[in-house]
Structure 1
Amino acid sequence: MVDLTSVDSTANATSLSCINTFRATCRQRTKRLLHSLSKVFIFGYIPLVHSIVLLLEMAIVAQIARRYDQYFDKRPVLTMMVTNSVLNGIADTVAQTVTSIRRRAAHDAKYAKNHSLDIELDEKIDQTLPHHGDKLIPTHSAHHHLPPPFDFNRLARFAFWGFVIAPFQFKWLQFLQRKFPLTANSSTLPTLKRVALDQICFAPMGLVGFFTYMTYAEGGDTEQVKKRLKNVFWPTLKANYMLWPMVQLINFRLMPLQFQLPFASTVGIAWGTYLSLTNSSSEDD
Protein backbone atom coordinates (compact mmCIF):
# COMPACT_ATOMS: atom_id res chain seq x y z
CA MET A 1 0.00 0.00 0.00
CA VAL A 2 1.37 3.41 -1.01
CA ASP A 3 1.91 5.95 1.79
CA LEU A 4 0.19 9.03 0.34
CA THR A 5 1.55 11.25 3.11
CA SER A 6 5.11 10.27 2.21
CA VAL A 7 4.42 10.88 -1.49
CA ASP A 8 2.97 14.33 -0.78
CA SER A 9 5.94 15.24 1.42
CA THR A 10 8.39 14.14 -1.26
CA ALA A 11 6.49 16.08 -3.93
CA ASN A 12 6.41 19.21 -1.76
CA ALA A 13 10.12 18.93 -1.02
CA THR A 14 10.87 18.50 -4.73
CA SER A 15 8.69 21.50 -5.63
CA LEU A 16 10.34 23.65 -2.97
CA SER A 17 13.78 22.61 -4.18
CA CYS A 18 12.85 23.51 -7.77
CA ILE A 19 11.51 26.90 -6.66
CA ASN A 20 14.67 27.67 -4.68
CA THR A 21 16.85 26.60 -7.60
CA PHE A 22 14.83 28.79 -9.97
CA ARG A 23 15.14 31.77 -7.63
CA ALA A 24 18.88 31.29 -7.24
CA THR A 25 19.29 31.02 -11.01
CA CYS A 26 17.25 34.20 -11.56
CA ARG A 27 19.32 36.08 -8.98
CA GLN A 28 22.58 34.97 -10.58
CA ARG A 29 21.40 35.93 -14.07
CA THR A 30 20.15 39.29 -12.82
CA LYS A 31 23.49 39.99 -11.13
CA ARG A 32 25.39 39.06 -14.29
CA LEU A 33 23.11 41.24 -16.41
CA LEU A 34 23.47 44.23 -14.07
CA HIS A 35 27.23 43.69 -13.91
CA SER A 36 27.40 43.78 -17.71
CA LEU A 37 25.13 46.81 -17.99
CA SER A 38 27.11 48.68 -15.32
CA LYS A 39 30.02 48.77 -17.75
CA VAL A 40 27.95 50.52 -20.42
CA PHE A 41 28.12 54.33 -20.51
CA ILE A 42 26.16 56.72 -22.72
CA PHE A 43 28.46 59.23 -24.44
CA GLY A 44 31.30 57.64 -22.52
CA TYR A 45 30.32 59.04 -19.10
CA ILE A 46 26.61 58.61 -18.30
CA PRO A 47 25.95 55.16 -16.76
CA LEU A 48 23.23 53.20 -18.56
CA VAL A 49 21.77 51.48 -15.49
CA HIS A 50 21.43 54.78 -13.64
CA SER A 51 19.69 56.29 -16.67
CA ILE A 52 17.21 53.41 -16.93
CA VAL A 53 16.35 53.64 -13.22
CA LEU A 54 15.85 57.41 -13.51
CA LEU A 55 13.56 57.03 -16.54
CA LEU A 56 11.44 54.44 -14.70
CA GLU A 57 11.13 56.76 -11.70
CA MET A 58 10.12 59.67 -13.91
CA ALA A 59 7.48 57.48 -15.57
CA ILE A 60 6.03 56.66 -12.14
CA VAL A 61 5.96 60.37 -11.23
CA ALA A 62 4.18 61.17 -14.50
CA GLN A 63 1.55 58.51 -13.75
CA ILE A 64 0.99 59.87 -10.23
CA ALA A 65 0.79 63.46 -11.51
CA ARG A 66 -1.92 62.61 -14.04
CA ARG A 67 -4.30 61.37 -11.33
CA TYR A 68 -2.92 63.10 -8.28
CA ASP A 69 -6.19 64.78 -7.27
CA GLN A 70 -8.10 61.49 -7.54
CA TYR A 71 -5.52 59.63 -5.47
CA PHE A 72 -5.38 62.40 -2.87
CA ASP A 73 -9.17 62.57 -2.48
CA LYS A 74 -9.38 58.82 -1.81
CA ARG A 75 -6.22 58.25 0.25
CA PRO A 76 -4.40 61.49 1.05
CA VAL A 77 -1.74 60.13 3.41
CA LEU A 78 -0.89 57.11 1.25
CA THR A 79 -0.69 59.36 -1.81
CA MET A 80 1.77 61.62 0.02
CA MET A 81 3.82 58.61 1.14
CA VAL A 82 4.13 57.10 -2.33
CA THR A 83 4.85 60.47 -3.97
CA ASN A 84 7.48 61.35 -1.39
CA SER A 85 9.08 57.93 -1.73
CA VAL A 86 9.42 58.16 -5.51
CA LEU A 87 10.79 61.71 -5.39
CA ASN A 88 13.31 60.65 -2.75
CA GLY A 89 14.30 57.79 -5.02
CA ILE A 90 14.87 60.24 -7.87
CA ALA A 91 17.07 62.36 -5.61
CA ASP A 92 19.27 59.40 -4.69
CA THR A 93 19.44 58.21 -8.30
CA VAL A 94 20.62 61.66 -9.38
CA ALA A 95 23.21 61.64 -6.59
CA GLN A 96 24.51 58.22 -7.62
CA THR A 97 24.57 59.28 -11.27
CA VAL A 98 26.51 62.47 -10.57
CA THR A 99 29.01 60.56 -8.45
CA SER A 100 29.46 57.89 -11.13
CA ILE A 101 30.04 60.48 -13.85
CA ARG A 102 32.58 62.38 -11.78
CA ARG A 103 34.50 59.27 -10.76
CA ARG A 104 34.68 58.01 -14.32
CA ALA A 105 35.73 61.43 -15.57
CA ALA A 106 38.46 61.66 -12.93
CA HIS A 107 40.22 58.71 -14.57
CA ASP A 108 39.96 60.16 -18.08
CA ALA A 109 42.84 62.41 -19.08
CA LYS A 110 40.75 64.01 -21.82
CA TYR A 111 37.94 65.04 -19.48
CA ALA A 112 39.74 67.96 -17.82
CA LYS A 113 40.59 69.38 -21.23
CA ASN A 114 37.13 69.00 -22.78
CA HIS A 115 34.97 69.72 -19.71
CA SER A 116 36.70 72.55 -17.88
CA LEU A 117 33.33 74.23 -17.20
CA ASP A 118 32.03 71.11 -15.41
CA ILE A 119 35.14 71.01 -13.24
CA GLU A 120 34.77 74.69 -12.36
CA LEU A 121 31.10 74.08 -11.47
CA ASP A 122 32.04 71.18 -9.17
CA GLU A 123 34.61 73.37 -7.43
CA LYS A 124 32.02 76.13 -7.05
CA ILE A 125 29.56 73.67 -5.48
CA ASP A 126 32.22 72.49 -3.04
CA GLN A 127 32.99 76.08 -2.09
CA THR A 128 29.35 77.17 -1.75
CA LEU A 129 27.53 74.28 -0.08
CA PRO A 130 28.56 73.29 3.45
CA HIS A 131 29.63 69.67 3.66
CA HIS A 132 31.77 67.23 5.59
CA GLY A 133 35.02 66.11 3.97
CA ASP A 134 37.07 67.45 1.08
CA LYS A 135 34.43 67.11 -1.63
CA LEU A 136 30.64 66.93 -1.75
CA ILE A 137 30.80 65.12 -5.10
CA PRO A 138 33.64 62.62 -4.68
CA THR A 139 35.93 61.70 -7.56
CA HIS A 140 37.43 58.75 -5.68
CA SER A 141 37.07 56.80 -2.46
CA ALA A 142 38.90 54.22 -0.46
CA HIS A 143 36.49 51.59 -1.78
CA HIS A 144 36.14 52.55 -5.45
CA HIS A 145 38.82 53.53 -7.91
CA LEU A 146 36.33 53.29 -10.77
CA PRO A 147 32.62 54.23 -10.88
CA PRO A 148 30.69 51.92 -8.53
CA PRO A 149 27.68 50.00 -9.87
CA PHE A 150 24.22 51.31 -9.10
CA ASP A 151 23.44 50.69 -5.43
CA PHE A 152 19.84 49.46 -5.30
CA ASN A 153 20.02 48.93 -1.53
CA ARG A 154 20.97 52.58 -1.06
CA LEU A 155 18.09 53.60 -3.34
CA ALA A 156 15.67 51.47 -1.30
CA ARG A 157 16.87 53.01 1.97
CA PHE A 158 16.45 56.53 0.67
CA ALA A 159 13.04 55.86 -0.90
CA PHE A 160 11.80 54.15 2.27
CA TRP A 161 12.80 57.20 4.33
CA GLY A 162 10.61 59.34 2.08
CA PHE A 163 7.78 56.85 2.56
CA VAL A 164 7.88 56.74 6.37
CA ILE A 165 8.54 60.45 6.98
CA ALA A 166 5.67 61.62 4.72
CA PRO A 167 2.84 61.10 7.29
CA PHE A 168 4.75 63.15 9.87
CA GLN A 169 5.41 65.88 7.31
CA PHE A 170 1.74 65.92 6.30
CA LYS A 171 0.51 66.11 9.90
CA TRP A 172 3.03 68.87 10.55
CA LEU A 173 1.74 70.88 7.58
CA GLN A 174 -1.83 70.42 8.81
CA PHE A 175 -0.78 71.63 12.26
CA LEU A 176 0.87 74.75 10.81
CA GLN A 177 -2.24 75.47 8.75
CA ARG A 178 -4.49 75.24 11.81
CA LYS A 179 -2.11 77.15 14.08
CA PHE A 180 -1.44 80.00 11.67
CA PRO A 181 -4.40 80.28 9.26
CA LEU A 182 -4.12 82.63 6.30
CA THR A 183 -6.93 85.16 5.89
CA ALA A 184 -7.75 87.84 3.37
CA ASN A 185 -6.71 90.51 5.86
CA SER A 186 -3.65 88.74 7.24
CA SER A 187 -1.43 86.41 5.25
CA THR A 188 2.16 87.65 5.46
CA LEU A 189 2.61 87.38 9.24
CA PRO A 190 1.05 83.88 9.56
CA THR A 191 3.22 82.71 6.67
CA LEU A 192 6.36 84.02 8.35
CA LYS A 193 5.34 82.32 11.60
CA ARG A 194 4.85 79.02 9.75
CA VAL A 195 8.29 79.29 8.16
CA ALA A 196 9.96 80.22 11.44
CA LEU A 197 8.40 77.36 13.39
CA ASP A 198 9.06 74.91 10.58
CA GLN A 199 12.75 75.80 10.36
CA ILE A 200 13.35 76.06 14.10
CA CYS A 201 11.57 72.84 15.07
CA PHE A 202 10.93 70.43 12.21
CA ALA A 203 14.08 70.97 10.12
CA PRO A 204 16.62 70.05 12.84
CA MET A 205 14.54 67.10 14.06
CA GLY A 206 14.11 65.88 10.50
CA LEU A 207 17.86 65.90 9.91
CA VAL A 208 18.54 64.04 13.16
CA GLY A 209 15.93 61.46 12.17
CA PHE A 210 17.36 61.11 8.66
CA PHE A 211 20.97 60.52 9.64
CA THR A 212 19.96 58.25 12.53
CA TYR A 213 17.75 56.13 10.27
CA MET A 214 20.38 55.95 7.53
CA THR A 215 23.11 54.87 9.92
CA TYR A 216 21.04 52.07 11.43
CA ALA A 217 19.70 51.03 8.00
CA GLU A 218 23.30 50.71 6.78
CA GLY A 219 24.10 48.41 9.69
CA GLY A 220 25.60 50.99 12.02
CA ASP A 221 25.30 51.28 15.77
CA THR A 222 24.68 54.05 18.30
CA GLU A 223 28.33 55.15 18.33
CA GLN A 224 28.30 55.51 14.55
CA VAL A 225 25.10 57.54 14.78
CA LYS A 226 26.80 59.93 17.20
CA LYS A 227 29.87 60.18 14.98
CA ARG A 228 27.84 60.87 11.85
CA LEU A 229 25.72 63.51 13.55
CA LYS A 230 28.86 65.16 14.91
CA ASN A 231 30.41 65.27 11.43
CA VAL A 232 27.49 66.21 9.20
CA PHE A 233 24.60 67.65 11.24
CA TRP A 234 25.73 71.27 11.52
CA PRO A 235 27.03 71.62 7.93
CA THR A 236 23.79 70.10 6.66
CA LEU A 237 21.62 72.32 8.85
CA LYS A 238 23.53 75.35 7.58
CA ALA A 239 22.87 74.26 4.00
CA ASN A 240 19.20 73.74 4.93
CA TYR A 241 18.92 77.38 5.98
CA MET A 242 20.39 78.48 2.66
CA LEU A 243 17.49 76.90 0.76
CA TRP A 244 14.39 76.02 2.73
CA PRO A 245 13.22 79.28 4.35
CA MET A 246 12.61 80.82 0.92
CA VAL A 247 11.11 77.62 -0.48
CA GLN A 248 8.72 77.26 2.45
CA LEU A 249 7.80 80.93 2.27
CA ILE A 250 6.57 80.36 -1.29
CA ASN A 251 5.05 77.01 -0.33
CA PHE A 252 3.02 78.22 2.65
CA ARG A 253 1.95 81.43 0.94
CA LEU A 254 0.86 80.10 -2.45
CA MET A 255 0.27 76.34 -2.32
CA PRO A 256 -2.95 74.61 -1.16
CA LEU A 257 -2.40 72.04 1.58
CA GLN A 258 -2.62 69.00 -0.71
CA PHE A 259 0.18 70.38 -2.89
CA GLN A 260 2.50 71.64 -0.16
CA LEU A 261 4.30 68.35 0.45
CA PRO A 262 4.60 67.45 -3.28
CA PHE A 263 5.89 70.98 -3.99
CA ALA A 264 8.44 70.74 -1.20
CA SER A 265 9.40 67.22 -2.28
CA THR A 266 9.83 68.31 -5.90
CA VAL A 267 12.11 71.16 -4.91
CA GLY A 268 13.56 68.68 -2.47
CA ILE A 269 14.93 66.53 -5.30
CA ALA A 270 17.90 68.90 -5.32
CA TRP A 271 17.97 68.87 -1.51
CA GLY A 272 17.63 65.10 -1.43
CA THR A 273 20.52 64.80 -3.86
CA TYR A 274 22.60 66.93 -1.50
CA LEU A 275 21.53 64.79 1.49
CA SER A 276 22.35 61.60 -0.37
CA LEU A 277 25.80 62.90 -1.30
CA THR A 278 26.39 64.11 2.25
CA ASN A 279 25.30 60.80 3.75
CA SER A 280 27.38 58.85 1.22
CA SER A 281 30.48 60.96 1.86
CA SER A 282 30.17 60.30 5.58
CA GLU A 283 30.08 56.54 4.86
CA ASP A 284 33.60 56.72 3.42
CA ASP A 285 35.09 58.12 6.63
Structure 2
Amino acid sequence: MRIPLLNASIIVIYSVFLLRLTWRFQTLHSIAAAMITNILLYGLADTIAQTIVTVKSVRLPLDEEADLGTVYTDDPNDDEHVEMFMSFYQNETNERRGEEDPSQVTTPGYSPAFNFWRLTMFMVYGFLLSFIQQPWYYIVNNIYDEKNVIISSIMRVLTDQLCFSPLSLCAFFVYTTVVIEGGNKSDVEKKLKAKYVTTLGINYMVWPLAQFINFALVPPQLMLPFSSAIGVFWTAFLCYRNAE
Protein backbone atom coordinates (compact mmCIF):
# COMPACT_ATOMS: atom_id res chain seq x y z
CA MET A 1 0.00 0.00 0.00
CA ARG A 2 1.34 3.41 -0.95
CA ILE A 3 2.59 5.98 1.53
CA PRO A 4 0.97 9.40 0.96
CA LEU A 5 3.28 11.81 -0.86
CA LEU A 6 3.00 14.45 1.88
CA ASN A 7 4.00 11.97 4.60
CA ALA A 8 6.89 10.62 2.54
CA SER A 9 8.14 14.15 1.80
CA ILE A 10 8.09 15.14 5.49
CA ILE A 11 9.92 11.95 6.47
CA VAL A 12 12.63 12.62 3.89
CA ILE A 13 13.02 16.25 4.97
CA TYR A 14 13.35 15.37 8.67
CA SER A 15 15.76 12.53 7.89
CA VAL A 16 18.02 14.79 5.83
CA PHE A 17 18.09 17.43 8.56
CA LEU A 18 18.88 14.81 11.21
CA LEU A 19 21.74 13.41 9.13
CA ARG A 20 23.18 16.88 8.56
CA LEU A 21 22.84 17.65 12.25
CA THR A 22 24.73 14.48 13.15
CA TRP A 23 27.74 15.64 11.11
CA ARG A 24 27.73 19.06 12.80
CA PHE A 25 26.66 17.96 16.26
CA GLN A 26 30.02 18.50 17.93
CA THR A 27 30.29 22.06 16.61
CA LEU A 28 27.04 23.14 18.28
CA HIS A 29 26.44 24.13 21.89
CA SER A 30 25.21 21.12 23.86
CA ILE A 31 21.81 22.59 24.76
CA ALA A 32 21.24 23.94 21.24
CA ALA A 33 22.18 20.58 19.75
CA ALA A 34 19.83 18.77 22.13
CA MET A 35 16.94 21.11 21.31
CA ILE A 36 17.37 20.79 17.54
CA THR A 37 17.85 17.03 17.77
CA ASN A 38 14.71 16.52 19.84
CA ILE A 39 12.59 18.80 17.66
CA LEU A 40 13.58 16.85 14.55
CA LEU A 41 13.36 13.51 16.35
CA TYR A 42 9.82 13.99 17.60
CA GLY A 43 8.73 15.51 14.30
CA LEU A 44 10.06 12.53 12.36
CA ALA A 45 8.69 10.02 14.87
CA ASP A 46 5.17 11.47 14.80
CA THR A 47 5.21 11.61 11.01
CA ILE A 48 6.11 7.91 10.91
CA ALA A 49 3.35 7.14 13.41
CA GLN A 50 0.78 9.12 11.42
CA THR A 51 1.91 7.36 8.26
CA ILE A 52 1.39 3.94 9.86
CA VAL A 53 -2.12 4.94 10.96
CA THR A 54 -2.90 6.30 7.48
CA VAL A 55 -1.68 3.20 5.67
CA LYS A 56 -3.61 0.91 8.03
CA SER A 57 -6.79 2.97 7.68
CA VAL A 58 -6.98 2.76 3.90
CA ARG A 59 -9.34 -0.04 2.90
CA LEU A 60 -11.01 -1.07 -0.31
CA PRO A 61 -14.64 0.10 -0.22
CA LEU A 62 -15.95 -3.44 -0.64
CA ASP A 63 -13.54 -5.25 1.68
CA GLU A 64 -16.19 -6.27 4.15
CA GLU A 65 -18.61 -7.41 1.48
CA ALA A 66 -15.81 -9.24 -0.33
CA ASP A 67 -15.10 -11.23 2.80
CA LEU A 68 -18.57 -12.73 2.51
CA GLY A 69 -17.99 -13.90 -1.05
CA THR A 70 -20.16 -13.11 -4.04
CA VAL A 71 -23.18 -15.27 -4.73
CA TYR A 72 -24.73 -15.52 -8.15
CA THR A 73 -27.90 -17.43 -8.86
CA ASP A 74 -30.50 -17.70 -11.59
CA ASP A 75 -33.36 -18.15 -9.12
CA PRO A 76 -35.15 -14.81 -8.40
CA ASN A 77 -36.17 -16.08 -4.97
CA ASP A 78 -32.55 -16.87 -4.11
CA ASP A 79 -31.53 -13.40 -5.31
CA GLU A 80 -34.13 -11.91 -2.99
CA HIS A 81 -32.75 -13.92 -0.08
CA VAL A 82 -29.22 -12.80 -0.84
CA GLU A 83 -30.34 -9.17 -0.99
CA MET A 84 -32.14 -9.55 2.36
CA PHE A 85 -29.03 -11.07 3.92
CA MET A 86 -26.77 -8.32 2.56
CA SER A 87 -29.20 -5.67 3.82
CA PHE A 88 -29.25 -7.26 7.28
CA TYR A 89 -25.43 -7.52 7.30
CA GLN A 90 -25.06 -3.87 6.29
CA ASN A 91 -27.44 -2.77 9.07
CA GLU A 92 -25.51 -4.81 11.62
CA THR A 93 -22.24 -3.25 10.44
CA ASN A 94 -23.65 0.26 10.65
CA GLU A 95 -24.95 -0.40 14.17
CA ARG A 96 -21.54 -1.64 15.31
CA ARG A 97 -19.88 1.44 13.86
CA GLY A 98 -22.42 3.67 15.53
CA GLU A 99 -21.46 2.25 18.93
CA GLU A 100 -17.77 2.95 18.37
CA ASP A 101 -15.98 6.16 19.22
CA PRO A 102 -16.49 8.38 16.13
CA SER A 103 -12.86 9.47 16.27
CA GLN A 104 -11.79 5.83 15.86
CA VAL A 105 -14.10 4.96 12.96
CA THR A 106 -12.40 4.96 9.59
CA THR A 107 -14.39 5.18 6.39
CA PRO A 108 -13.37 2.46 3.94
CA GLY A 109 -11.08 3.81 1.26
CA TYR A 110 -10.59 7.08 3.15
CA SER A 111 -7.11 8.32 4.01
CA PRO A 112 -7.11 10.64 7.08
CA ALA A 113 -5.56 14.06 6.57
CA PHE A 114 -2.12 14.75 8.01
CA ASN A 115 -2.44 16.29 11.47
CA PHE A 116 -0.07 19.28 11.56
CA TRP A 117 -1.31 20.36 15.01
CA ARG A 118 -0.29 17.02 16.47
CA LEU A 119 3.06 17.19 14.66
CA THR A 120 3.74 20.66 16.05
CA MET A 121 2.82 19.68 19.61
CA PHE A 122 5.11 16.65 19.51
CA MET A 123 7.94 18.89 18.32
CA VAL A 124 7.19 21.25 21.21
CA TYR A 125 7.35 18.28 23.58
CA GLY A 126 10.75 17.30 22.19
CA PHE A 127 11.95 20.89 22.61
CA LEU A 128 10.84 20.99 26.27
CA LEU A 129 12.28 17.56 26.99
CA SER A 130 15.74 18.63 25.80
CA PHE A 131 16.07 20.93 28.83
CA ILE A 132 15.76 17.84 31.04
CA GLN A 133 17.64 15.27 28.99
CA GLN A 134 20.88 17.22 28.59
CA PRO A 135 21.37 17.89 32.35
CA TRP A 136 20.31 14.31 33.08
CA TYR A 137 23.02 12.85 30.84
CA TYR A 138 25.55 15.16 32.48
CA ILE A 139 24.53 13.96 35.95
CA VAL A 140 24.52 10.26 35.05
CA ASN A 141 27.92 10.56 33.37
CA ASN A 142 29.54 12.23 36.37
CA ILE A 143 28.18 10.44 39.44
CA TYR A 144 30.08 7.20 38.74
CA ASP A 145 33.83 6.73 38.37
CA GLU A 146 35.48 5.16 35.36
CA LYS A 147 37.66 2.56 37.13
CA ASN A 148 35.56 -0.22 35.65
CA VAL A 149 33.75 0.69 32.44
CA ILE A 150 31.41 -2.28 32.57
CA ILE A 151 30.33 -1.71 36.17
CA SER A 152 29.94 2.05 35.74
CA SER A 153 27.93 1.54 32.54
CA ILE A 154 25.62 -0.93 34.29
CA MET A 155 25.11 1.52 37.15
CA ARG A 156 24.30 4.32 34.68
CA VAL A 157 21.81 2.12 32.86
CA LEU A 158 20.10 1.14 36.12
CA THR A 159 19.96 4.77 37.26
CA ASP A 160 18.59 5.89 33.90
CA GLN A 161 16.00 3.14 33.57
CA LEU A 162 14.79 3.12 37.17
CA CYS A 163 14.69 6.88 37.68
CA PHE A 164 14.29 8.65 34.35
CA SER A 165 12.35 6.24 32.13
CA PRO A 166 9.27 5.75 34.35
CA LEU A 167 8.90 9.50 34.88
CA SER A 168 9.49 10.45 31.25
CA LEU A 169 6.98 7.85 30.03
CA CYS A 170 4.38 9.11 32.49
CA ALA A 171 5.05 12.69 31.37
CA PHE A 172 4.62 11.61 27.72
CA PHE A 173 1.15 10.15 28.30
CA VAL A 174 0.07 13.10 30.44
CA TYR A 175 1.26 15.61 27.83
CA THR A 176 -0.32 13.84 24.86
CA THR A 177 -3.62 13.32 26.68
CA VAL A 178 -3.96 16.87 28.02
CA VAL A 179 -2.23 19.05 25.42
CA ILE A 180 -2.73 17.15 22.17
CA GLU A 181 -6.04 15.42 22.85
CA GLY A 182 -7.56 18.05 25.17
CA GLY A 183 -8.28 15.49 27.87
CA ASN A 184 -8.80 15.97 31.59
CA LYS A 185 -7.61 14.27 34.78
CA SER A 186 -10.00 11.36 34.27
CA ASP A 187 -8.71 10.80 30.73
CA VAL A 188 -5.13 10.83 31.99
CA GLU A 189 -5.95 8.22 34.62
CA LYS A 190 -7.63 5.99 32.03
CA LYS A 191 -4.71 6.34 29.61
CA LEU A 192 -2.14 5.50 32.28
CA LYS A 193 -4.18 2.57 33.56
CA ALA A 194 -4.65 1.14 30.07
CA LYS A 195 -1.18 1.65 28.59
CA TYR A 196 1.45 2.74 31.09
CA VAL A 197 2.54 -0.59 32.60
CA THR A 198 2.65 -2.54 29.34
CA THR A 199 4.49 0.27 27.56
CA LEU A 200 7.03 0.50 30.38
CA GLY A 201 7.56 -3.24 30.09
CA ILE A 202 8.28 -2.87 26.36
CA ASN A 203 10.62 -0.01 27.24
CA TYR A 204 12.65 -2.39 29.41
CA MET A 205 12.95 -4.77 26.46
CA VAL A 206 14.52 -2.08 24.29
CA TRP A 207 16.37 0.59 26.24
CA PRO A 208 18.61 -1.16 28.81
CA LEU A 209 20.74 -2.78 26.10
CA ALA A 210 20.71 0.36 23.97
CA GLN A 211 21.73 2.55 26.89
CA PHE A 212 24.44 0.11 27.98
CA ILE A 213 25.99 0.41 24.52
CA ASN A 214 25.52 4.16 24.74
CA PHE A 215 27.23 4.56 28.13
CA ALA A 216 29.95 1.97 27.54
CA LEU A 217 31.02 2.64 23.96
CA VAL A 218 29.76 6.01 22.74
CA PRO A 219 31.73 9.23 23.46
CA PRO A 220 29.86 11.60 25.83
CA GLN A 221 29.34 14.25 23.14
CA LEU A 222 27.62 11.69 20.88
CA MET A 223 25.45 9.99 23.49
CA LEU A 224 22.40 12.12 22.77
CA PRO A 225 22.59 11.61 18.96
CA PHE A 226 22.97 7.86 19.51
CA SER A 227 19.96 7.64 21.81
CA SER A 228 18.04 9.93 19.46
CA ALA A 229 18.68 7.59 16.53
CA ILE A 230 17.10 4.74 18.47
CA GLY A 231 14.56 7.17 19.86
CA VAL A 232 13.13 7.81 16.40
CA PHE A 233 11.69 4.31 16.30
CA TRP A 234 10.81 4.23 20.00
CA THR A 235 9.04 7.58 19.87
CA ALA A 236 7.22 6.55 16.70
CA PHE A 237 6.02 3.50 18.61
CA LEU A 238 4.91 5.70 21.53
CA CYS A 239 3.06 8.08 19.21
CA TYR A 240 1.33 5.18 17.50
CA ARG A 241 0.50 3.47 20.80
CA ASN A 242 -0.88 6.72 22.21
CA ALA A 243 -3.18 7.03 19.20
CA GLU A 244 -4.48 3.44 19.43
Deviation at 1:108, TM superposition (A): 7.6
Which SS does the other structure have where 2:146 is aligned?
coil
Find the counterpart in structure 1 of residue 119 from structure 2: 155
Deviation at 1:62, TM superposition (A): 2.9
TM-score, normalization by structure 1: 0.67
Match of 1:96 among 50, 61, 69: 50
Structure 2 Cα separation of the partners of residues 92 and 250 of structure 1: 26
Tell me if structure 2 keeps the 8 A contact 1:45–1:105. Answer: no
CA separation of 1:103 and 1:195: change in aligned 2, threshold 3 A: same
CA separation of 1:143 and 1:248: change in aligned 2, threshold 3 A: same
Match of 2:204 among 230, 241, 257: 241
Deviation at 1:279, TM superposition (A): 0.8
Match of 1:212 among 163, 174, 177: 174
Higher RCO, 1 or 2 (CA under 8 Å, sep at least 6)? 2
CA separation of 1:252 and 1:220: change in aligned 2, threshold 3 A: same
Find the counterpart in structure 2 of residue 175 from structure 1: 139
Structure 1 Cα separation of the partners of residues 41 and 152 of structure 2: 28
Q: Which amino acid aligns with 2:57?
A: R
**Structure 2, unaligned stretches of length 5 or more?**
64-101
Deviation at 1:105, TM superposition (A): 4.7
5 Å-filtered alignment, 1:55-94, equals 55-71=12-28, 75-94=29-48
Tell me if structure 1 keeps the 8 A contact 2:38–2:228. Answer: yes
Tell me if structure 2 keeps the 8 A contact 1:84–1:262. Answer: no
Structure 2 Cα separation of the partners of residues 93 and 108 of structure 1: 28
Superposed CA offset, 1:4-62 (max 9, x none): xxxxxxxxxxxxxxxxxxxxxxxxxxxxxxxxxxxxxxxx6211110111122122223
Match of 1:273 among 227, 236, 240: 236
Size of the aligned set, in residue pairs, is 204
Find the counterpart in structure 2 of residue 38 from structure 1: none
Structure 2 Cα separation of the partners of residues 100 and 160 of structure 1: 23
Superposed CA offset, 1:198-250 (max 9, x none): 11111000011111111121211122111111111101101101100000010
Structure 2 Cα separation of the partners of residues 107 and 275 of structure 1: 30
Find the counterpart in structure 2 of residue 166 from structure 1: 130
CA separation of 1:90 and 1:106: change in aligned 2, threshold 3 A: farther
TM-score, normalization by structure 2: 0.78
Which SS does the other structure have where 1:220 is aligned?
coil
Deviation at 1:272, TM superposition (A): 0.6
Tell me if structure 1 keeps the 8 A contact 2:30–2:134. Answer: no
Identity among equivalent positions (%) equals 33
Find the counterpart in structure 1 of residue 189 from structure 2: 226
Match of 2:155 among 175, 193, 202: 193
Find the counterpart in structure 1 of residue 8 from structure 2: 51
CA separation of 1:108 and 1:153: change in aligned 2, threshold 3 A: farther
Let me know the Cα RMSD of the aligned residues: 2.0
Which SS does the other structure have where 1:149 is aligned?
coil
**Structure 1, unaligned stretches of length 5 or more?**
1-43, 110-139
